[in-house]
Amino acid sequence: MTAHLTSPDRVSHAQKAAAGAGVDALLVTPGPDLRWLTGYDALPLERLTCLVLPADGPAFMVAPGLEVPSVLASPVRDLDVEVVGWGETDDPYAVIAARLGSPARVALANRMWAEQVLRMRAALPGAEQSLASGVIGELRMRKSPEEVDALRRAGQAIDRVHARMAEFLRPGRTEREAGREIAAAVLDEGHATVDFVIVGSGPNGASPHHEVGDRVLQAGDPVVVDIGGTTPEGYCSDCTRMYTLGAPPAEFADYFAVLHESQLAACAHARPGVTAESVDAAARDVIAAAGYGDAFVHRTGHGIGVETHEEPYIVEGNATVLEAGMAFSIEPGIYLSGRHGARIEDIVVATPDGIERLNVTDRQYVELGA
């Protein structure tokens, strides 16, 4: 990806946070933490690439010699990070161990491969291992104004795709045919990658993570369209809207009204100072009161940033107190097995006194010509 949004401060903030958490070093292999910290969108390979952030000491990155040109072509070149290339017969784990001495605690990127975790353990036998989410997740969860701007642009890009849905959904074509054109539109409207395309028509809409299948769209179908991608800046979009092909079944219109009220209630409740789980309850209470509680089968939302799903999760049991700058989805759903289902999803960001919705297209279902 190009034009990645990073800040040299992230590396030093992560080092300070590690020190505050009693972690001697953060070990970050390719994945979302590395992208967030450095802007380097490295290929995950069996040869070790690892950013090492000591709590006290200079940051460095070990990388296979043949990958060093890619590292130096990335935003890493602008950071105060020494790049240490290793040759085909060198042991990069030994290189890290020699530089770190004997740390008591290291934190590993959550997406590190198991084979790397075990080799780190062998190379640093005295170090207790923990997950880097305890340090880096806390930083990633609180978006800077620049990150909120990037998420707003991602939201606008996916909104433009939803605004074009009449081009793609028609009776007589399959979900897969529609999905292929929607995926092309996700790229055309400003994303670098398509992360997922869900077109759940009729009974397939009752399966929340159905992607696309060979079902032919039919007049009267409610259709769940949940789509997202990653922008060239490295930030994700994720938005669900409902469409119907002509007039929907009466039952659908009834529970959609409940769902719409639920989504509004959760958005009205969400603000700094309330817990993540209370936002889930605000959505769930409306649906349960209308008798559809058993049909809302998933959490209300998830954080979003350089990953589609990250902290804070909007779910019962998560007592995290929301703060301005936290970005997450509010996406209640009602699913009637074998018949149809509905979900409404917006990405929102907490502001000092409420939330801002980053998806702004109409939340009512859109009746397309059948």
Q: State which of residues 238, 280, 311, 346 lies at the interface with Zn ion (CB under 5 A).
A: 238
As measured in angstroms, the least distance from the Cβ of 299 to Zn ion is: 10
- Residue among 189 and 238 whose Cβ is closer to Zn ion: 238
Amino acid in the structure at residue 268: A
* Residue pointed to by tokens 């161990």: 97
First and final C-alpha spacing in the chain: 40
6-14, 37-45, 281-289, 343-351 -> range binding Zn ion (CB under 5 A)? 343-351
Task: Report how far residue 79's alpha carbon sits from residue 19's, in angstroms, rounded to the nearest whole number.
Answer: 20
226 lies in the site for Zn ion, by CB under 5 A: yes
Task: Report how far residue 176's alpha carbon sits from residue 196's, in angstroms, rounded to the nearest whole number.
Answer: 13
Tokens found for residue 239: 């938005």
With contacts defined by CB under 5 A, how many residues of the chain interact with Zn ion? Answer: 5
- Residue among 41 and 346 whose Cβ is closer to Zn ion: 346
According to DSSP, the residues that pair with 125 across neighbouring strands are none
310 lies in the site for Zn ion, by CB under 5 A: no
159 lies in the site for Zn ion, by CB under 5 A: no
Evaluate whether 222 touches 247 at the Cβ level (below 8 Å).
no
Evaluate whether 120 touches 26 at the Cβ level (below 8 Å).
no
- Residue among 5 and 344 whose Cβ is closer to Zn ion: 344
Evaluate whether 244 touches 252 at the Cβ level (below 8 Å).
yes
Of residues 303, 314, 207, 251, the one with CA closest to residue 259: 251
As measured in angstroms, the least distance from the Cβ of 64 to Zn ion is: 35
Interface map 8-37 toward Zn ion (x if CB under 5 A):
------------------------------
40-48, 116-124, 165-173, 342-350 -> range binding Zn ion (CB under 5 A)? 342-350
As measured in angstroms, the least distance from the Cβ of 52 to Zn ion is: 33
Q: State which of residues 17, 329, 342, 358 lies at the interface with Zn ion (CB under 5 A).
A: 329
As measured in angstroms, the least distance from the Cβ of 238 to Zn ion is: 4
- Residue among 4 and 343 whose Cβ is closer to Zn ion: 343
Q: Is 104 helix (H, G, I), strand (E, B) or coil?
A: coil
- Residue among 10 and 191 whose Cβ is closer to Zn ion: 191
**Residue ranges with strand state E in 94-174:** 105-108, 128-131
**Residue ranges with strand state E in 238-320:** 239-245, 301-303, 310-314
Query: Which residues lie near Zn ion (CB under 5 A)?
Result: 226, 238, 240, 329, 345
